[in-house]
Amino acid sequence: YHCLLDVPVCRNSGYVVLTDKDETTGMHCLGYRLDDTEAIYQAGIAAGQEGKCKDCTGDTTKPVYGYRATVTGTVKELGD
């Protein structure tokens, strides 16, 4: 949670949705870029265990790493 939510260069560069791993490289592929980064940030701090990021508010039952979110939205533009 710290790297995702606390580090300015990470937060300020925006968030993305990753697709499944490429079977050849074993790496995830970029799916979508998200415009509303504040909503992602707020959901992240609520989901993270307190003390695992600067603003995390979750109790000890919350995870300390591996943040995953379900995102619902509208695709505004398809890139290459």
- Alpha helices in the chain, H assignment, sequence order: 2-5, 8-12, 37-47
pLDDT at residue 32 in the model: 87
Q: Are 47 and 67 in contact (CB under 8 A)?
A: yes
Q: Which residues of the chain have pLDDT under 50?
A: none
For 34, the token pair is 């998200």
Name the residue among 48, 67, 66 with its Cα closest to residue 58. Answer: 48
pLDDT at residue 25 in the model: 93
pLDDT at residue 14 in the model: 81
3-state secondary structure of 9: helix
